[in-house]
Amino acid sequence: MNKIWTIGALLQWTQQYFAGKGIDSPRLDAEILLAHVLHKERIYLYAHYDEPLNGEELAAYRAMVKKRADRLSVAHILGTKAFMGLDFKVSEDVLIPRPETEMLVETVVTAAEGTAPVIIDIGTGSGAIVLSLLHYLPQATGTGVDISTKALAIATGNGRSLGLDDRVTWIESDLFTQVPPGTCDWLVSNPPYLTQGDMEQLQPEVRHDPALALYGGDDGLDFYRRIAADSPAYVKVGGHCAVEIGAGQADDVTAIFCTGGAYEHDQTVKDYGGIDRVLVFSRKG
């Protein structure tokens, strides 16, 4: 006799299975995957514990469970990731947007509210940062810059699906090399900032993100040096540069930006774990 798998039984089994594989949030991941297969909200699962799955649904769910057990992230499996209340398409060609990066967006939105800022996002990836800024700052215009053609294809699709493609420009460029002259009010970036040691200790899920979007050189600071050196030509006097940083990098990155004389340190924002996560600099005259 084939066992009849109900929603409740499946969730319970999957939770134990994922926990045994060392997955951090076994119950949540099981619920998200099952809700996706059933085309329902997660709340639906709780009201329908006794509902059985049909063979097609079961097969689709099992395939996803296997991928998750192999430590592919839920975002990679589903091909989408929620960020700042918006849905972004993602793939293995872009960094999966992280919750801590929302601090960068929130900081800029708070500071620029009510204005019509021109924004440049260096290393845009999926476009999550610049597109979220354009969504929450309705008078803003932006440019997303990335070295990866495949990343820009994802970003372009996200801009279109969010209805923001008339306010954003995409440029394929190694940082500023192909960015035409002109100035912005806000330069934003979540650059690669992992050290060689960090790269060797990555969680299995993060190994599916492009190394290009993670590795910041031996000390993790290579991209901050380049951004600090080249960005003053693109940030207007009185404008700002806001960057995400890794744990323990605040002093080094502040020194990198402030020693050249073009910037002064404005603000340090901590993430929900109490770690310095976002640095804001203003462009001096």
Average pLDDT score over residue span 10-14 = 97
Residue 275, pLDDT > 70, answer yes
Has 232 been labeled as part of a binding site? Answer: no
State CA 245 to chain mean position distance. Answer: 13
Has 110 been labeled as part of a binding site? Answer: no
Has 124 been labeled as part of a binding site? Answer: yes
> What pLDDT sits at residue 3?
78
Percent of the chain at pLDDT above 90?
A: 87
Q: What gap in Å lies between CA 34 and CA 37, rounded to an integer?
A: 5
Check: CB of residue 247 under 8 Å from CB of residue 197: no
Tens of pLDDT, residue by residue over 142-196, are 999 999 999 999 999 999 999 999 999 999 999 999 999 889 999 999 999 998 8
Strand, helix or coil for residue 3: coil
Confidence of residue 205 (pLDDT cuts 50, 70, 90): confident
Average pLDDT score over residue span 248-256 = 97
What the block records as the tokens of 222 is 């290579």
> What pLDDT sits at residue 213?
86
Has 6 been labeled as part of a binding site? Answer: no
Q: What gap in Å lies between CA 131 and CA 121, rounded to an integer?
A: 10
Q: How would you list the strands of the sheet with 235-244, edge to edge? A: 168-172, 141-146, 118-122, 184-189, 235-244, 276-283, 263-270
Has 169 been labeled as part of a binding site? Answer: no
Closest CA to 122 of 187, 196, 66: 187
Has 261 been labeled as part of a binding site? Answer: no
Tens of pLDDT, residue by residue over 99-113, are 999 999 999 999 999
Q: How many CA atoms lie within 13 A of 142 on its CB side?
A: 30
Residue 115, pLDDT > 60, answer yes
Q: What gap in Å lies between CA 24 and CA 27, rounded to an integer?
A: 9
> What pLDDT sits at residue 2?
59
Tens of pLDDT, residue by residue over 45-68, are 999 999 999 999 999 999 999 999
Has 274 been labeled as part of a binding site? Answer: no
Greatest extent of the chain over all pairs of C-alpha atoms, in Å: 78
Has 181 been labeled as part of a binding site? Answer: no
Q: What gap in Å lies between CA 213 and CA 234, rounded to an integer?
A: 22
Q: Which value, to the nearest 10 degrees, does the dihedral of the CA atoms of residues 267, 271, 277, 280 take?
A: -20
Average pLDDT score over residue span 230-252 = 96
Confidence of residue 1 (pLDDT cuts 50, 70, 90): very low
Has 193 been labeled as part of a binding site? Answer: yes
What the block records as the tokens of 126 is 């999926």
Helices (H), the chain: 7-20, 26-38, 42-47, 55-69, 74-78, 102-112, 128-136, 149-161, 196-200, 222-230, 250-259
Q: What gap in Å lies between CA 269 and CA 192, rounded to an integer?
A: 19
Beta-bridge partners for 53: none
Has 239 been labeled as part of a binding site? Answer: no
Percent of the chain at pLDDT above 70?
A: 99
